[in-house]
Structure 1
Amino acid sequence: MANYRIEQKDSFTVLGIGTELQSDYTDYAGINKEKADFWEEVQQDGRLDALKAAAANEYLFAVNEAVNNKMMYYAGVMTDAALPEATRVIQFPKGEYLVVKGEGKTADELSHMLTGIAFGQVLPEAKDIAYVGGPNATVEMGERNGLVFGEMWIPVVRK
């Protein structure tokens, strides 16, 4: 079974720069391309560096959230600062979270792997927890031995 745990978290906020995903929610290739293009854009135009400079820690968040029936995707950090580049303050609720750990050669590979494990294996097989919506995030936590490591955080409820 995948390397995961259920963890209690206090509520927290992530300041994000976002984009609306246009692909159908079942079009994984389209969604992944839109996400990759978005990361390239925010890295090239300097918005990601501005976001990282305001961060309270080293964590870099890739957040998925449904807002007004739109699929939104954000690059974000934990911070109390306000930035003109930011498009949303994302509220994560206090409660239990499914936490899946992993590592990959790149942040993109890490995100794909964690998402696949969480939504493709753990949640479908879980008998005592369920994801009922709300923002979820891949959290890039650092690098070691040439690999990017991190976790996926998904708010869950007990069935």
Structure 2
Amino acid sequence: MADYTLEEKDGFTVLGIGTELKSDYTDFAGITKEKADFWQTVREDGTLEKLKAVAANDYIFTVNEAVNNKMMHYAGVLTEKTLPEATRVIQFPKGEYLVVKGEANTGEELSNMLTGIAFGQVLPEVKDVAYVGGPNAAVEMGERNGMVYGEFWIPVVRK
């Protein structure tokens, strides 16, 4: 099984600009393409730069959340500020989080890889905690040696 840790985190707020994912939740290729198109747009149209301008740190959040029975996907930053373009203020609860660390060539690769490891390998095998919904996020934390590094955070509860 992939390496993971369980960490206690204070509640925090991510300001997000997002899109609804229309592909069926089992259509991995469709979801991956929708996410890639979304990230290309927010990088090219200046949206990501606007978010970074109000950020409390250098972290870039890729947030997935079910809202009103819709699969939502956001680019976000840790902040208490807001922007007119923002589509959601995402509240992450105080509590225990399953954390998977990794590195990849790009932020998008990092997010896809960590999402796959967290949901495909770690969660199915971890016996003492469960994911019961709520927002989860890939957190791009920086670069070193030409690679993007970060973590995937999933709020969990003890079984």
Corresponding residue number in structure 2 for 1:45: 45
TM-score relative to the length of structure 2 = 0.98
Q: CA deviation at 1:130?
A: 0.7
Q: CA deviation at 1:2?
A: 1.5
Q: Which runs of 5+ in 2 are unaligned?
A: none
Corresponding residue number in structure 1 for 2:126: 126
Corresponding residue number in structure 1 for 2:155: 155
Separation in 1 of the partners of 2:123 and 2:81?
34
Alignment of 1:27 onto 2:27: yes
Structure 2 counterpart of 1:28, one-letter code = F
Work out the percentage of aligned pairs sharing the same amino acid.
78
Alignment of 1:117 onto 2:98: no
Q: CA deviation at 1:19?
A: 0.3
Count residues in correspondence: 159
Separation in 2 of the partners of 1:112 and 1:83?
27
Corresponding residue number in structure 2 for 1:97: 97
Q: How does 1:56-95 map to 2 (within 5 A)?
A: 56-95=56-95
TM-score relative to the length of structure 1 = 0.98
Separation in 1 of the partners of 2:135 and 2:142?
22
Deviations 1:77-123 (A, max 9, x none): 01121111111000001110000000001111111111111111110
User: Residue 74 of structure 1: SS of its match in structure 2?
Assistant: strand
User: Residue 16 of structure 1: SS of its match in structure 2?
Assistant: strand
Q: CA deviation at 1:3?
A: 2.0
Q: CA deviation at 1:157?
A: 0.6
Separation in 1 of the partners of 2:135 and 2:11?
12
User: Residue 86 of structure 2: SS of its match in structure 1?
Assistant: coil
Separation in 2 of the partners of 1:130 and 1:82?
32
Structure 2 counterpart of 1:77, one-letter code = V
User: Residue 98 of structure 1: SS of its match in structure 2?
Assistant: strand
Root-mean-square deviation (CA), in Å? 0.7
Structure 1 counterpart of 2:98, one-letter code = L
Structure 1 runs of 4+ aligned residues shifted over 4 Å read none
Corresponding residue number in structure 2 for 1:143: 143
Separation in 2 of the partners of 1:38 and 1:62?
11
